Amino acid sequence: MCGIVGYIGTKNAYPILIKGLKRLEYRGYDSAGIALNINGGVQVFKKKGKVLELENYCENKNTFSNIGIAHTRWATHGEPNDINAHPHVSMNGFFTIIHNGIIENYEKLKNDLTQRGYKFYGETDSEILANLIEYMYGDGKEVNAETAVRMALSRVVGAYGIVIMCNDEPGKLIAARKSSPLAIGIGDGEYYLASDASPIVEYTRNVVYLNDNDVAIITPNSFTLKTVQKDEEIKPEIQKLELSVGELEKNGFEHYMLKEIFEQPRTISDSFRGRIDPQTKEVFLGGLSEVMPRILDAKRIVIIACGTSWHAALIGEYLIEEYARIPVEVEYASEYRYRKPIINEDDVVLAISQSGETADTMAAIKLAKDKGALVLGICNVVGSSIARETHAGIYTHAGVEIGVASTKAFTAQVTVLTLLAMRLARAHKAIGDERYYAIINDLISIPDKINLILEKQAQIKEIAEKYKDNINSLYLGRGYLFPVALEGALKLKEISYIHAEGYPAGEMKHGPIALVDSNIPVVVVAAKDRYYEKVVSNIQEVKARKGNIIAVVTDGDGFLRDTVEDIMEIPKSDDVVTPLLAVIPLQLFAYYISVLRGCDVDQPRNLAKSVTVE
């Protein structure tokens, strides 16, 4: 949440910062701002709305500078407006700051500063931090900017990724991190700072990811790393970026979301390729090999996640319990972290996260680690905070996901969970050869089958035309397809703002059926799996109440074609891997409804892709 960018070097910083903000806009887009050191003084330009608004505002203004910081905001404290937009400047103008995260003890700090004569122009916690640093700095005679920052941060409770400019020390940026990511790209006589590597990759592949409590002091020719607590230099660990710039472009698609939906045949095979032995078909998960004995001894697996990743977790639960026969619990990270859960040393806690930065998931991981559990991660972003915080893990290879509504990350997570379940099932000798090979072979066939679904996008668009003006909808599924119903409903809600409720089809009679009349579309995920007959009964119940049914059906299901209003067909597949197919038409359906309603598909209102606040 919130994107931060910084540049210091010999180039014109403005275009680098604006381009960086656009790359990071998925993190928040309520307002944007930029601070540049122009002719020896810091100048701030900021605007409510998207980066484009800021760019228009800055047109024809002098923006030339070799040093600057910029921010795109997802509002926490204070409404999105020009005043609350970052960068924030301290009362006497000494410090300018951009901040991602939340200062939890902001109220106390604000009271303390108010008593000392400080005044605030906006409502953000970030402005308080700017003033706290200024207060520590005093007149600058006793302490320098770096020390003032370190002293201020030692009084802060909460999360921050910050970059700071000090008027008295113009050729310098100071950056720090706690629980909010910050990467520093190392160029030749220049440095690039950003919340993730995407704004950096086109300039340099050498990057340092700050750790919690790190403070970096950067000039065009020097990079010094210390911690908040200690005034001693530490050696930065330089990593090589593997990201390519091409991954960050739309490549001819109208939206990132559509591009990402169409990438799924490749991203799913990238997620299993190299992990299934081509001859023996045995699954090998390199990232878990060292901890595998402990996983195999686990009495229980607890999966923690948020949002779409939580839906993938539910599929993981069904898979692992059915085939590996290990008890699994799935938890919302935001609940788990606060509800005093029972965590034993022989538990395995598995965190699933696309971004690897979700604050609630991160906090749940720390809790589980403190209690002695083995904590594993399934993450998409290499080197992300969750990937680094967990004891071991498996990367999904979905590539960069930019559309705020997750698509390819979900199917990559389900792919990896299928591999994990099969690996555990084999090790526990809980699955027969025939069943095992059938599942693995079907998993391998999924990318081709998804291509067949994608070819039918025009039909799905036609169905979307029919239902685009509804304001309510119900999504139903059973077994492995229940989480798919949840995910389908979430996609529609997120990007088209139509209320959509996902439910287990069998549970419909206990409440949601009261909603059914001729006005509500009911999307039923009704592939020919072991639950088919039961789901058909639920369809009849909806029909009896004049509900309009859109069904995701297995190719050639003549009965449902004749029974329901609209069908979206998917190829026949094993029950266990059918979620990977059934979710595709639902992603496309939500996408087209969003486009037809004129919504902002890639940056839906109020949402952010990486939720680094709780």
Catalytic positions, written as ranges: 2, 609
Task: Report, in Å, the least distance between residue 401 CB and ligand G6P.
Answer: 8
What minimum distance in Å lies between the beta carbon of 609 and ligand G6P? 5
Task: Output the CA angle 323-582-402, nearest 5 degrees.
Answer: 100
Site string for ligand G6P, 368-407 (x = CB under 6 A): ------------------------------------x-x-
CA gap 85, 73 in Å, rounded: 7
307 vs 341, which CB is nearer to ligand G6P?
307
Distance in angstroms (rounded) separating the CA atoms of residues 328 and 350: 10
DSSP state for residue 251 in the 8-state scheme: T
- In three-state secondary structure terms, 187 is coil
The residue behind tokens 């095979």 is 269
Question: Closest by alpha carbon to 213, among 183, 176, 173?
Answer: 176
**Footprint of ligand G6P on residues 303-362 (CB under 6 A)?**
306-309, 353-355, 358, 361
Q: Could you tell me which residues are beta bridge partners of residue 223?
A: 218
271 lies in the site for ligand G6P, by CB under 6 A? no
Q: Residue 355 or residue 538: which is nearer to ligand G6P going by CB? A: 355
Closest contact distance (angstroms) between CB of 499 and ligand G6P is 17
| Binding residues among 149-188 for ligand G6P as defined by CB under 6 A | none
Rule CB under 6 A: say whether 126 interacts with ligand G6P.
no
Tokens of 78: 């204070």
Residue ranges in 4-43 that form contacts with ligand G6P under rule CB under 6 A: none
Could you say whether residue 267 binds ligand G6P (CB under 6 A)?
no
Rounded Cα distance, 51 and 73, in Å: 10
Print the binding letters for residues 593-612 with ligand G6P: x by CB under 6 A, - otherwise. --------------x-x-x-
198 makes contact with ligand G6P (CB under 6 A): no
CB of 315 to ligand G6P, least distance (A): 14
Cβ-based neighbours of 52, under 8 Å, separated by 6 or more = none
Q: 4 or 608, CB closer to ligand G6P?
A: 608
Q: Any idea which residue has 């381009």 for tokens?
A: 19
- Kindly give, in sequence order, each residue whose CB lies less than 8 Å from that of residue 219, ignoring residues fewer than 6 positions away: 8, 171, 172
Closer by beta carbon to ligand G6P, 295 or else 364: 364
Tokens 């640093």 sit on residue: 133
How many amino acids of this chain bind ligand G6P (CB under 6 A)?
Answer: 14
Name the residue with the smallest CB distance to ligand G6P.
307
Site for ligand G6P in 278-307 (CB under 6 A): 306-307
Comparing CB distances to ligand G6P, the nearer of 69 and 330 is: 330
CA distance 359 to 338: 13
Under the binding rule (CB under 6 A), the answer on residue 90 touching ligand G6P is no
197/539 with CB nearer ligand G6P? 197
Query: CB within 8 A of 378, min separation 6: which ones?
Result: 350, 351, 352, 353, 393, 394, 395, 396, 413, 416, 417, 420
Rg of the chain in Å (alpha carbons): 25
Q: State residue 384 phi and psi, 5-degree precision.
A: -70, 170
Under rule CB under 6 A, residue 100 binds ligand G6P: no
Q: Is 554 in the site for ligand G6P (CB under 6 A)?
A: no
Query: Quick one: 337 exposed, middle or buried, by C-beta within 10 A (0-12, 13-18, 19+)?
Result: buried
Which residues contact ligand G6P by CB under 6 A? 306-309, 353-355, 358, 361, 404, 406, 607, 609, 611
